[in-house]
Amino acid sequence: MLYLSLTRIPGFNIGLIALSFLVLQISPVTLLAQQPPHPWIADAPGEIVRLIGLGDVRIVIDDEAVKASNKLALTAFQLKVTYDTRIRYDWISQGNQNQPWKARIIASVPKPRIHLEHQVIIPSTFQPMNPWESALMKHEFDHVAISTDPRLLKIMERVFKRKWVFTEEWNQPSRPTDADVQSRVEHLLAGEVKNCEQLIQQQYDWLDLQSVSGSQSLESRMSFFQELYSFPGLERCSFARRDLVKEHLNRTSPSESLNELERHYLSLR
């Protein structure tokens, strides 16, 4: 869904664009077709219910998806970022035989809206007496906790709720249109969504590596989860926007952050 309005200022090579659109990334697999709510949901303990609400979680049975993952179960997430974007641009150079069209673009996203959906995918053969006491389900909901970590939401809000200033070039004979400029901005923002998606997936993979896909207990649960979205954790993942959020991370009170994380993670064990 795309709404575009354009205002031109007479005598100036300046464009003003206001647009609204949705960028979608999916990981690690495409979410499966909706199934009726799994009966286990009705008996979920309070902390699991909290995560189900935070992460918009569904439990799905799919033997093929589990087999393809080479795991006992898996958690898939879908990251949606909806935003209204304001774009202003002016022409630095007008294309001719010797130089390309070049524009200076200023784009901003005042109010990004971030939403995560999850599917905990299990095989049909997984039928424990008490699923919420099983190590496998606890491990999968550790994944959900990672992608609903309150620090992650703040990081993503900081990534999107800002201004971008950059230049773009077009090697073409005709003057680029507003749609051409818009396309470059969409590409930039889609890249930011991809960066956030990759960060979540890398933290999922880190959990699987350190816990051997949930078959072993973490040596120190709180230390492990505390590191994930700290600056060293973002460096470990080579998160492209870690310097952008570093100041925000430094402003967070360690005791306040720890209390919040203990409430988010520790009660799952």
Q: What is the pLDDT along the chain (269 residues), one digit of tens a residue?
A: 233 333 332 333 344 544 444 444 444 445 655 677 888 999 999 999 999 999 999 999 999 999 999 999 999 999 999 988 899 999 998 877 778 999 999 999 988 999 999 999 999 999 999 999 999 999 999 999 999 999 999 999 999 999 999 999 998 888 999 999 999 999 999 999 999 999 999 999 999 999 998 889 898 888 999 999 999 999 999 999 999 998 877 766 555 567 788 888 866 66
CA distance 192 to 83: 12
For 224-264, the DSSP string reads: HHHHHTSHHHHHHTT-TTHHHHHHHHHHS-HHHHHHHHHHH
The answer to whether 118 and 76 are in contact (CB under 8 A) is yes
Total number of domains in the chain: 1
- Tell me the CA end-to-end span of the chain in Å, nearest whole number: 43
Task: Please say whether the beta carbons of 50 and 145 come within 8 A.
Answer: no
- The CA distance from 72 to 107, in Å, is 44
What is the predicted pLDDT for the residue at 32?
58
**Token representation of residue 223:** 């230390």
6/72 Cα distance (integer angstroms): 52
Query: 126: burial class by Cβ within 10 Å (0-12, 13-18, 19+)?
Result: middle
Q: Which domain holds residue 21?
A: 3-268
Q: Check: CB of residue 144 under 8 Å from CB of residue 55.
A: yes
Whole-angstrom Cα distance, residue 17 to residue 158? 22
pLDDT digits (tens, 9 = 90+) for 23-80: 444 444 456 556 778 889 999 999 999 999 999 999 999 999 999 999 999 999 999 9
